[in-house]
């Protein structure tokens, strides 16, 4: 089955409406981090303050992700995600009110953390739905699930193309507050719609534990995969901050979202192409070489001196981001008990958010000291660390993947 046929079959199982809603529901999280960064930075005049608030949102989102994922596994996504969507929208409005009132940025950081704690991880939860959705496809299920994870990785990256672009549009037309207001409305509408979709009920019925045995979540393999995701999150945070500094220095801060979106364009295309890779190339092998690509393709950031020079670098760097993330999430789904899949997916997302916070905060501090180049050095360092993790633990990941495969595909 070709990738195009796989995608056509997947979308036929859910209907086009679900695909659109699930995509739009993940945009608010992509918008909130950059929106908070630009809003607080413009209000305080400090990239460090903006990076800290954006990082607080990301850290809190990471800290709460495991809790919400476990609750979704136990209670079903419908109730949990509906609550998060409405409460998270209120949290984003709270950030706008605090910054608009001119309160100290420490208060904005606290409110950002509350908002981050409530924001739902739509992408990871959408991944959980695909195995139950494809449960009646017989021998094609394994390939369809792989294609679904490729699509979800591309959809996540596309959200980080459109999300920053919408933030940039809001800054260009008015100010960052417009972007956060739009994110709040989108979350309340599409997040709730995603929560109430019939696929949430099917997923809970298929994955809820009926034996009382829930299985182990934090295996050594999953911990390694969390480290891998933390590093790619560091790439996101540092690139976003470095690009903001470069665009502001060029007198065009409103272009930050558009330039950061360039990172996602190549990533979306490469993510969709992952479904065409032969199954004979093992997932741990893919992870190792995608990590090498992350390092090699991020190095030219250290030579960038203008916005024009940044364009090709971000486009090419994106080509390794989605394949790297798709591989980590697919590996996690393979080595995790079905009853803990929601928690596992949100743990990985939490690690990504924590890495974003680390990258944004560290790059922000270095940018206050030396501009965009030290901020981008954080990106290159994260790529080097990703190589060390993926190659250093290659045997562990290989053994972890082999065990479920020997026993056959995970039950739906």
Kindly report, residue by residue over 169-195, the tens digit of the pLDDT: 776 676 778 888 999 999 999 999 999
Q: What pLDDT sits at residue 389?
A: 93
Which stretches of the chain score pLDDT less than 50?
210-213, 404-412
Q: Where are the domains of the chain?
A: 3-208+215-405
User: CB of 282 within 8 A of CB of 401?
Assistant: yes
Distance (Å, whole) CA 111 – CA 283? 39
CA distance 191 to 189: 6
Compute CA distances 159 → 32, 76, 335, 373, 409, whole Å.
Answer: 12, 24, 27, 26, 30
CA distance 197 to 212: 27
pLDDT of residue 254: 67
pLDDT at 128: 85
What is the pLDDT at residue 130?
86
**pLDDT at res. 412:** 31
Report the pLDDT value the prediction gives residue 408, as an integer from 0 to 100.
Answer: 41
Give the homologous superfamily in CATH for domain 3-208+215-405. Answer: MFS general substrate transporter like domains (1.20.1250.20)
pLDDT of residue 209: 52
- 3-state SS class at 393: coil
pLDDT given for residue 256 in this prediction:
72
């Amino acid at each position: 089955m070709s990738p195009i046929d796989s995608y056509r079959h997947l979308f036929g199982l859910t209907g086009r409406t679900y695909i659109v809603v699930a995509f739009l529901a993940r945009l608010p999280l992509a918008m909130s981090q950059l929106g908070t960064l630009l809003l607080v930075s413009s209000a305080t005049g400090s990239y460090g303050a903006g990076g800290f608030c954006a990082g607080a949102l990301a850290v809190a989102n990471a800290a709460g992700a495991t809790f919400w994922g476990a609750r979704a596994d136990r209670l079903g996504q419908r109730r949990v995600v509906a609550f998060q969507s409405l409460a998270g929208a209120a949290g984003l409005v709270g950030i706008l009110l605090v910054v608009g009132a001119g309160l100290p940025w420490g208060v904005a950081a606290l409110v950002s953390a509350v908002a981050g704690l409530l924001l739902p991880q739509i992408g990871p939860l959408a991944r959980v739905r695909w195995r139950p959705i494809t449960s009646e496809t017989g021998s094609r299920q394994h390939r369809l699930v792989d294609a679904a994870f490729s699509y979800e990785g591309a959809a996540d990256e596309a959200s980080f193309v459109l999300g920053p672009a919408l933030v940039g549009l809001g800054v260009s037309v008015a100010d960052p507050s417009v972007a956060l207001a739009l994110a709040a409305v989108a979350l309340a509408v599409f997040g709730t719609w995603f929560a109430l979709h019939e696929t949430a009920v099917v997923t809970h019925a298929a994955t809820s534990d009926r034996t009382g045995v829930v299985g182990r979540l934090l295996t050594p393999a999953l911990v390694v995969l969390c480290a891998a995701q933390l590093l790619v999150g560091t790439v996101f945070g540092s690139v976003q901050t470095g690009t903001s500094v470069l665009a502001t220095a060029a007198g065009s801060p409103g272009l930050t979202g558009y330039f950061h979106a360039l990172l996602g364009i190549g990533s979306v295309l490469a993510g969709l192409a992952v479904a065409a890779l032969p199954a004979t190339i093992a997932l741990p092998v893919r992870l190792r070489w995608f990590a090498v690509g992350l390092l090699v393709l991020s190095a030219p950031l250290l030579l960038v001196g203008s916005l024009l020079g940044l364009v090709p670098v971000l486009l090419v760097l994106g080509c390794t981001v989605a394949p790297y993330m798709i591989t980590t999430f697919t590996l996690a789904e393979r080595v995790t008990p079905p009853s803990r899949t929601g928690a596992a997916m949100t743990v990985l997302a939490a690690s990504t958010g924590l890495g974003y916070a680390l990258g944004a905060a560290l790059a922000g501090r270095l940018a206050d000291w030396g501009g965009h180049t030290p901020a981008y050095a954080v990106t290159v360092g994260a790529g080097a660390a990703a190589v060390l993790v993926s190659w250093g633990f290659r045997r562990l990941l290989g053994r972890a993947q082999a065990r479920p495969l020997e026993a056959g595909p995970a039950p739906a």
